[in-house]
Amino acid sequence: MSRIAKQIFDWVDERAGLRELSDKMLNEPMPGGSRYAYVFGSILVYIFVIQLVTGILLMFYYAPTADHAYESTQYIINNVEYGWFILSFHFWSSSVMVVMVVIHMSQVFLWGAYKKPSELVWVVGTVLFVLVVAMGFTGYLLPWDQRSFWATTVGIEIADKVPLIGDFIGQFLRGGPTTGAHTINRFFVLHVMILPLAIMGLATLHIYLFRKAGPAGPYKGTHGELTRTSEYFFPRQVYKDSVAIGIVFLITCALAFYEPVELLQEATPEPGDYNPIPEWYFLFIFQMLRYEMFSGEWGQIIGSIVIPMAFMIWLVAIPFIFRNPERRLWKRKLGIATWALILFAVAWLTYDFSITEVH
Amino acid sequence: MLMQPKIKMKVVGSDRDVGEVANVIADPVAKTISHIVVRTGDRGQRVVPLDQIAEVSEDVHLRCSAVTVSGYPLLCRGDYTTVHQQEVAGLEARLDVEPGEILIPVPEGDRDIPRRGFFTKFTVAINAVLALPLAYPILKFLIHPMYGAYDNTWVKLARADQFSDVDAPRSYRFKKTLKEGYLERTFDKSHWAMKASPETLEAVYQGKDLEFRDKNGDVYWVNRRNVPYIVYSGKCPHLGCGYKWRSTKKYNMAFLCPCHLTIYNIAGSVLTGPAPRTLDVLPVRVTPGGDIETIDVEYKAGLVGRVRVI
């Protein structure tokens, strides 16, 4: 049997070049050898695949229309076997993905791995970051409960304030003046078609550019040492990635199991007792907009548009600002200080939100 | 099989040395070497066909003489690409050469650069001609539901005799039926309404009737300053959340938005928080039957001025 299997494989391989392809994919020399520090890119690929699989499963029952979205989501949670788990797993994976993206980016930044020749890897990565956040935002509306409705309504009101094109963006996303039937269709097509295709394309480009530039490797060690200790991606790094992915899988399972998604009331512009709050990774900006300095028409534009845009531009520009080839952490005080400041600001704003009473 | 010539090998003619192998030229169809490029002593590079090779050992031995070699055509580099520029499937597996430039002849029809430019330009032009007429229908298709007419119908919020106390606002729900595209839905919505004391009325209207204008600037309704009922839009003018009338630590009873914590007084003015304007006063009328009615107007949040959205 195995002889026949081998003959079939050889026949296919002769025509498709599978061995050569897999050799090229797996025999990627990693200077300095495999490490647990390198697992985050693979974790993100894994979560993306999980989101595709669970997302496709949810579409077997979900109806993206304003009159049935809520009911069909309730049906998934309450009636379809394991529906609650698949939906919750999808929900929690999105949060885990945001965390992993932040870790992945922080690591590349702190290691100086975005520096020449890897600038484009970083630039494409920042676009992927925006797409992942957009996936979170568009997915949030789909269950069509009060949480969904108000997060989207407020989110689009913010987009509406972008100078010149804001009104068009807002109307375009909503498909009209208010969050309603067209909005859910539009968010659905963004969430399940446009954004995933964009992520697939750009992630492929990201990995291609990464392979083209080669792994940055550790920031210390002589060339000779790194060559001597270098290892292929397979098997040791693939093993380490798998261990890390297993841990992420278990954490997500635990979150889905102990904190399953529960819907609030169906979406309606009558808030009742519900106090709108966005998903946790938007809380810092939510809290920021409460501050006096971001009040009024212009304060709000500064807080919700100018600062995030400036941050994104800074993010994209990082490889072109910090061009010194020095990669050692302790020699890059400005970069480290900026990174620490941003993370501290986000953490502090989120903490401040948690201690602010609505009174 | 003949051992294949390799780059840098010495080339020996039938009479004497002629130079060394500078390149090999591959036939992309047959996937074999068809010529060698011999760098002769005078720095010229001659293209010698493979059938002139008698033997390949340490050196390449030619059948012909050095004079014959100098009669072969000079290499015209522009007529060739390399394997770095052109994918020839399976070529490498069949060549036994040292790594280096394997030259592949460009098809003769493609050596004419002006024609290449012509084809490039017309390919772009044809695709543009196909794409441009599609852009307009696609745009119209996508923006179809975005800009509709305003709805100025009156909706009943409450009955005038429900208001026993003055300056005691309550949220009044009503059913709104909306047809979006093909889908007609009925859902709950609410606005705040109250019977206002003369002081509150004065604070809200500041001695003037309040005019409501449509897109063309025509007045579609006027709130008279002496009508004691006030309706505030349920949408917070900061970012569109729903606010509540409740006791607050600093201001006693006030309108408070739980999102970004703007607090408004009974007259809708901002006491604290980020909102850029006062609460939105909506058209109000009392029917002969004693119903308090309003038009479900909504303004854009986040702006100082009022831009109507529905």
CATH number at residue B258: 2.102.10
Which residues in chain A have their CB less than 8 angstroms from residue B304's CB?
296-297
Per-residue model confidence (pLDDT) at position B97: 62
Cβ of residue B16 closer than 8 Å to a chain A Cβ: no
Co-location of B172 and B67 in the same domain = no
Element containing residue B236 per DSSP (H, E): none
The amino acid occupying position A203 is A
The full length of chain B comes to 310
How many Cα atoms within 13 Å fall on the side-chain side of residue A66?
A: 25
CB A203 within 8 A of CB A48: yes
Which residues in chain A have their CB less than 8 angstroms from residue B300's CB?
157, 160
Co-location of B87 and B172 in the same domain = no
CB A294 within 8 A of CB A308: no
Answer whether A271 sits within 8 Å of B185, measured CB to CB: no
B residues 251-270 closer than 8 Å to A (CB): 256, 258-261
Co-location of B186 and B270 in the same domain = yes
Per-residue model confidence (pLDDT) at position B96: 66
How far is residue A343 from each of residues A103, A339, A347, measured CA to CA in Å?
11, 6, 6
Q: Helix, strand, coil % (nearest 5) of chain B?
A: 20, 35, 45
Count of H-run helices and E-run strands, chain A: 16, 2
Cβ of residue B142 closer than 8 Å to a chain A Cβ: yes
Q: Which of A174, A175, A297 sits opposite B304 (nearest CB)?
A: A297
Domain end, chosen from B42, B74, B108, is at: B108
Could you tell me the CATH number of the domain that includes residue B93?
2.30.30.240
Which residues in chain A have their CB less than 8 angstroms from residue B257's CB?
none
Confirm whether B80 is domain-assigned.
Answer: yes
Please, what is the average pLDDT of chain B? 89
Co-location of B54 and B168 in the same domain = no
The amino acid occupying position B123 is T
Cβ of residue B45 closer than 8 Å to a chain A Cβ: no
What is the radius of gyration, based on Cα positions, of chain A? 23
Co-location of B93 and B215 in the same domain = no
Q: Which residues contact A323 (CB under 8 A, 6 or more apart)?
A: A115, A116
Answer whether B273 sits within 8 Å of A290, measured CB to CB: yes
Give me A52's structure tokens. 């595709």
Confirm whether B35 is domain-assigned.
Answer: yes
**For tokens 């969904």, what's the residue?**
A148
Strand partners, B284: B294
pTM score of the predicted model: 0.89
Which residues in chain A have their CB less than 8 angstroms from residue B259's CB?
154, 275-277, 286
Total number of domains constituting chain B: 2
Which residues in chain B have their CB less than 8 angstroms from residue A286's CB?
259-260
The amino acid occupying position B39 is R
Confirm whether B22 is domain-assigned.
Answer: yes
Instruction: Give the count of beta carbons closer than 10 Å to the beta carbon of residue B167.
Output: 15
The amino acid occupying position B68 is T
Which residue does chain A place closest to B251, by CA atoms?
A359
Q: Which of B183, B241, B273 sits opposite A295 (nearest CB)?
A: B273
Q: What are phi and psi of A270, to 5 degrees?
A: -100, 110
Which residues in chain A have their CB less than 8 angstroms from residue B143's CB?
171-172
> What is this model's ipTM?
0.90
Distance from C-alpha of A206 to C-alpha of A42, rounded to nearest angstrom? 12
| Shortest Cα–Cα distance, A23 to chain B (Å) | 16
CB A346 within 8 A of CB A120: no
Strand partners, B105: B80
Strand partners, B82: B103
* Pairs of CB atoms within 8 A across A/B: 123
Answer whether A300 sits within 8 Å of B238, measured CB to CB: yes
| Shortest Cα–Cα distance, B169 to chain A (Å) | 15
Per-residue model confidence (pLDDT) at position B1: 45
Distance from C-alpha of A97 to C-alpha of A55, rounded to nearest angstrom? 14
Co-location of B289 and B168 in the same domain = yes
CB B160 within 8 A of CB B143: no
Q: Which residues contact A218 (CB under 8 A, 6 or more apart)?
A: A31, A32, A35, A226
Instruction: Give the count of beta carbons closer than 10 Å to the beta carbon of residue A182.
Output: 21
Co-location of B102 and B165 in the same domain = no
Answer whether A67 sits within 8 Å of B185, measured CB to CB: yes
Cβ of residue B298 closer than 8 Å to a chain A Cβ: yes
Q: Which residues contact A17 (CB under 8 A, 6 or more apart)?
A: none
- Mutate which of B144, B146, B157, B176 to test chain A, going by most A C-beta atoms within 10 A? B146
Which residues in chain A have their CB less than 8 angstroms from residue B248's CB?
359
**For tokens 């009328």, what's the residue?**
B285
Domains, chain A, ranges and CATH?
A: 34-269 (1.20.810.10)
Cβ of residue B310 closer than 8 Å to a chain A Cβ: yes
Q: Which of A174, A175, A270 sits opposite B190 (nearest CB)?
A: A270
| End-to-end Cα, chain A, rounded Å | 74
B6-57: pLDDT as tens digits: 888 899 999 989 999 988 888 888 788 889 999 987 778 999 998 899 888 8
Confirm whether B76 is domain-assigned.
Answer: yes
Answer whether A294 sits within 8 Å of B242, measured CB to CB: no
Per-residue model confidence (pLDDT) at position A141: 97
Confirm whether B214 is domain-assigned.
Answer: yes
- Mutate which of A146, A286, A300 to test chain B, going by most B C-beta atoms within 10 A? A300
> Which is it for strands B154-159 and B102-105: parallel, antiparallel or unpaired?
unpaired
Co-location of B96 and B160 in the same domain = no
Answer whether A270 sits within 8 Å of B275, measured CB to CB: no
- Mutate which of B151, B155, B177, B259 to test chain A, going by most A C-beta atoms within 10 A? B259
Answer whether B274 sits within 8 Å of A269, measured CB to CB: no
Strand partners, B10: B20
Q: Is B31 exposed, middle or buried (0-12, 13-18, 19+ CB in 10 A)?
A: middle
Domain end, chosen from B108, B142, B171, is at: B108
Per-residue model confidence (pLDDT) at position A1: 65
Domain that holds residue B213: 154-295
Co-location of B172 and B288 in the same domain = yes
pLDDT tens across the length of chain A (359 residues): 689 999 999 999 999 988 888 888 888 888 889 999 999 999 999 999 999 999 999 999 999 999 999 999 999 999 999 999 999 999 999 999 999 999 999 999 999 999 999 999 999 999 999 999 999 999 999 999 999 999 999 999 999 999 999 999 999 999 999 999 999 999 999 999 999 999 999 999 999 999 989 888 888 888 888 888 888 898 999 999 999 999 999 999 999 999 999 999 999 999 888 999 899 999 999 999 999 999 999 999 999 999 999 999 999 999 999 888 888 888 889 889 999 999 999 999 999 999 998 76
How far is residue A40 from each of residues A20, A44, A344, measured CA to CA in Å?
26, 6, 22
Q: Which of B148, B178, B240 sits opposite A157 (nearest CB)?
A: B240
- From the list A64, A222, A54, A45, the residue with the least C-alpha distance to A128 is A45
Cβ of residue B5 closer than 8 Å to a chain A Cβ: no
The full length of chain A comes to 359
| Shortest Cα–Cα distance, B262 to chain A (Å) | 8
Task: Work out the widest C-alpha separation in chain B, in whole angstroms.
Answer: 124
Distance from C-alpha of A144 to C-alpha of A70, rounded to nearest angstrom? 5
Which residues in chain B have their CB less than 8 angstroms from residue A271's CB?
190, 234, 241-242
Domain end, chosen from B84, B108, B132, is at: B108
Co-location of B192 and B60 in the same domain = no
B208-256: pLDDT as tens digits: 999 999 888 899 999 999 999 999 999 999 999 999 999 999 999 999 9
Co-location of B164 and B286 in the same domain = yes
Cβ of residue B185 closer than 8 Å to a chain A Cβ: yes
Distance from C-alpha of B172 to C-alpha of B158, rounded to nearest angstrom? 7
Which residues in chain A have their CB less than 8 angstroms from residue B256's CB?
358-359
Confirm whether B211 is domain-assigned.
Answer: yes
B57-105: pLDDT as tens digits: 888 999 999 889 988 999 988 888 887 777 777 777 777 665 556 788 8
Which residue does chain B place closest to A303, by CA atoms?
B274
Confirm whether B268 is domain-assigned.
Answer: yes
How far is residue B242 from each of residues A4, A88, A105, A290, B89, measured CA to CA in Å?
69, 28, 37, 15, 65
Answer whether A180 sits within 8 Å of B256, measured CB to CB: no
Distance from C-alpha of B162 to C-alpha of B212, rounded to nearest angstrom? 26
Confirm whether B148 is domain-assigned.
Answer: no
